Structure formats: structure tokens, C-alpha cells
């Protein structure tokens, strides 16, 4: 087990508290394994009727995977494929699959930062997920900003967002708040942070078998307090620009729009990895017709190619290690990205019978 994952059972509910506050609960391999062990143990445990995922800190539920570890482990292996990296992504994606198909209500308190791998451990499937946001929620799939792509099931849940909102979130990597999360369908309930102590008391006092209904009733009066969604207000603009068939066409469309929103989005995209924005768009196109297991298998293939290419290592170097904020993307511009470059990320790495996620169903 991990010292950064604290578990307990009370009144028919299994509680998981992420406790790595200095790193905003960034996931290590040990944390992934501790989460998996707890959820597997409780899946068939008659004492546990529901699960609650929360944080010991108000700053973040989980800021994602431990990207400094990605950088160090990737640099240590000549092809970016160290055994520790292989284990991390295989086990993290298997955990995402377990959460999506969990047979019991899975309540995620998405207070503070929830990004990347944090989304993967918070996005329970439609049969189990109860996702709560607050006014402090800062949600994103920001991977293109570090030369990666929206993984942890992002090819599934982003590709199923209304209209072109999933493409917008995945290709730009921009951050949204509570109202936008509710509008996109990445959250279910809004609770003001001032009400979280009362919610915690409710979670402790309510039998796990009645937790889903109790949370919904508690949160219902606060829905309007989440405020207006900017993405809803900009929906026509987003659908028009991000409905284009390629990232260069999206950029050209945005460039022709003098509106403040379009120009803000365009400026953000100019700092992202050109190659990984294109890979992300292709990932979402493919993910739209795949189930969760096949999406995760696809992502597992793409992440292996990503580390072999080295784009994520350069992104983490620039933003986290050296902090010069000047990544040297390869290629450096969108007009240099070819269809073949993108296609290489989807070429099989393993035969089907040897894929590390072949057992997911």
C-alpha cells in the first residue's frame, strides 16, 4: 500500500483519501496500486455498498500523473520505455477501466485541481459515477501542453461530449470550472465549498446503500449557484471551429474569427505540441466508435510511441524540470506534421494476444 492513499470503511462506505498534498496528489505507481487494491478488495465485500474518493487537501483532488517521474524514467531508458513506465501506464489504465465499470456507486469529490490522471480516477462510468464539483474545481485534460495526449480514458469520455466540446478540451488542453464541467457532462453535482463539511457529515452518516440518492438530494438546491457556463455560451463558436477535419483547419478557422474567445483559444494552441494536437484529434475520432476497453488499449499503444518519440520528455523538461517554458517541439509547426507522423502513433506495438491490457473487457 502507499502512504499517500488512506482507506477506511464506515457505515457501509469505503473511503479513499489521497494524501500527497505537496504534489497536489499526483499519482505515483504505488498510489495507483493502492487504489487498485482497495477497489478490488471492496468490489465483492458485502460490508461496502459505495465508495468515496476524496483529498486531504482543498487544493486538489489529483493533478494527474507524476510527470517528473515520467521524465526521469523516460530519460533513463534509451527508447523511453523503461520497465517502471510500462508498469505505470498499464496499471493506471487498468485502474481507469476498473473505476468505469465499478459495480457500486463511486463518489468523487472533485474539489480543487482535477487534471489528467486525476480525471481518470474521478470519471466513474454511467452506472456508478457520482462526480461532485465546487467553485474551486479546476478541471482539464492538459496533456498537449506537455507533449502528451488526453489518456486515462480521455479518448472515450471526451469523444462523447456534446457537439465538438470534447475536441475543444482535448486539442487545446484548456482548463474549465464547475459550470462548464456540468455542461460538458464531466460532473453531476455542484456543492459550494462552504457546504463541504455538511456534505462530509452526510457521507459519514448515510448508509452506503443510500449514498447516491442522499448526495443528489443534498446537492440539488445548489445547482443554480454553479453559475453560467462559458462553453455553453460559446457552443456555436466551438462547434464551428472544432468541427473542422484537421487541426490546421481548426487553426485557420479560429484565425479568421476576430472574437475575443476565438483569439484566446488560438493563442493557447500556438504553445501546444503541434504533433500531439494532431494525434489527439485522431485519437478522439477513433475513440468515438470504441468501448472503454478498446480506447484504453489504443491509448496504451499511443503512449508507448509517445515516449519513444520523446515529445513528452521535452514538454516536461521545458515546463517542469528546466522551467524555461520554451519546449522545442518536434516538428516545430503544424505545417510540418504529416499524416504518416500521426499514423505511426497508432501502429500496433504488440500482437493482440500480448497487449498488456488484453484482459480488459
**How many separate helices (H) and strands (E) can be counted in the chain?**
17, 9
CA distance 316 to 330: 14
Cα diameter, the chain: 59
CA distance 254 to 238: 9
Question: Strands 138-140, 113-115: parallel, antiparallel or unpaired by DSSP?
Answer: parallel
Q: Which residues contact 142 (CB under 8 A, 6 or more apart)?
A: 64, 115, 116, 173, 174, 175
How far is the CA of 78 from the CAs of 21, 73, 275, 310, in angstroms?
A: 32, 10, 21, 10
Q: What is the DSSP string of 64-110?
A: -B-HHHHHHHHHHSTTS--HHHHHHHHHHHHHHHHHHT-SS-EEEEE
The grid coordinates of residue 290 equal: 470504441
In the sheet that 5-10 helps form, which strands lie side by side, from edge to edge? Answer: 5-10, 13-18, 50-55, 106-110, 129-133, 189-190
Could you identify the residue written with the cell 499526483?
26
How far is the CA of 248 from the CAs of 242, 252, 254, in angstroms?
A: 10, 6, 10
Backbone torsions φ then ψ of 81, nearest 5 degrees:
-125, 50
Could you identify the residue written with the cell 473505476?
99
CA distance 153 to 299: 8
Q: State the catalytic residues.
A: 65, 117, 143, 151
The grid coordinates of residue 299 equal: 491509448
Question: Which DSSP helix (H) or strand (E) runs through 189?
Answer: strand 189-190
Question: Strands 5-10, 13-18: parallel, antiparallel or unpaired by DSSP?
Answer: antiparallel
Amino acid at each position: 500500500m502507499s502512504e499517500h492513499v488512506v482507506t477506511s470503511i464506515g457505515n457501509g462506505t469505503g473511503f479513499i483519501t489521497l494524501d500527497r498534498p505537496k504534489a497536489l496528489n499526483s499519482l505515483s505507481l504505488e498510489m495507483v496500486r493502492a487504489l487498485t487494491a482497495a477497489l478490488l478488495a471492496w468490489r465483492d465485500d458485502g460490508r461496502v455498498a459505495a465508495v468515496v474518493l476524496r483529498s486531504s487537501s482543498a487544493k486538489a483532488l489529483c493533478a494527474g500523473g507524476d510527470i517528473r517521474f515520467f521524465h526521469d524514467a523516460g530519460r533513463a531508458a534509451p527508447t523511453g520505455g523503461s520497465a517502471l513506465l510500462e508498469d505505470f501506464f498499464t496499471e493506471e489504465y487498468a485502474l481507469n477501466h476498473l473505476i468505469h465499470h465499478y459495480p457500486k456507486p463511486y463518489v468523487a469529490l472533485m474539489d480543487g485541481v482535477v487534471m489528467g490522471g486525476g480525471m481518470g480516477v474521478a470519471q466513474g462510468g454511467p452506472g456508478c459515477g457520482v462526480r461532485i464539483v465546487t467553485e474551486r474545481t479546476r478541471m482539464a485534460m492538459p496533456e498537449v501542453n506537455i507533449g502528451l495526449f488526453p489518456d486515462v480514458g480521455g479518448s472515450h469520455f471526451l469523444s462523447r461530449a456534446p457537439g465538438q466540446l470534447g475536441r475543444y478540451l482535448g486539442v487545446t488542453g484548456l482548463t474549465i470550472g464547475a459550470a462548464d464541467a456540468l455542461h460538458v457532462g464531466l460532473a453531476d453535482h455542484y456543492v459550494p465549498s462552504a457546504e463541504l463539511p455538511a456534505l462530509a457529515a452526510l457521507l459519514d452518516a448515510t448508509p452506503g446503500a443510500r449514498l447516491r440518492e442522499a448526495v443528489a438530494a443534498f446537492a440539488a438546491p445548489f445547482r443554480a449557484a454553479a453559475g453560467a457556463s462559458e462553453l455553453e455560451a460559446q457552443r456555436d463558436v466551438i462547434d464551428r471551429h472544432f468541427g473542422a477535419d484537421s487541426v490546421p483547419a481548426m487553426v485557420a478557422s479560429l484565425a479568421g474569427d476576430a472574437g475575443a474567445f476565438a483569439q484566446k483559444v488560438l493563442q493557447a494552441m500556438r504553445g501546444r505540441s503541434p504533433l500531439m494536437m494532431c494525434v489527439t484529434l485522431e485519437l478522439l475520432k477513433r475513440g468515438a466508435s470504441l468501448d472503454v476497453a478498446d480506447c484504453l488499449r489504443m491509448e496504451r499503444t499511443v503512449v508507448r510511441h509517445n515516449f519513444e518519440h520523446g515529445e513528452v520528455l521535452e514538454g516536461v523538461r521545458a515546463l517542469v524540470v528546466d522551467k524555461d517554458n520554451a519546449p522545442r517541439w518536434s516538428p516545430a509547426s503544424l505545417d510540418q506534421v504529416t499524416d504518416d507522423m500521426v499514423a505511426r502513433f497508432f501502429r500496433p506495438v504488440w500482437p493482440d494476444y500480448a497487449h498488456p491490457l488484453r484482459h480488459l473487457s
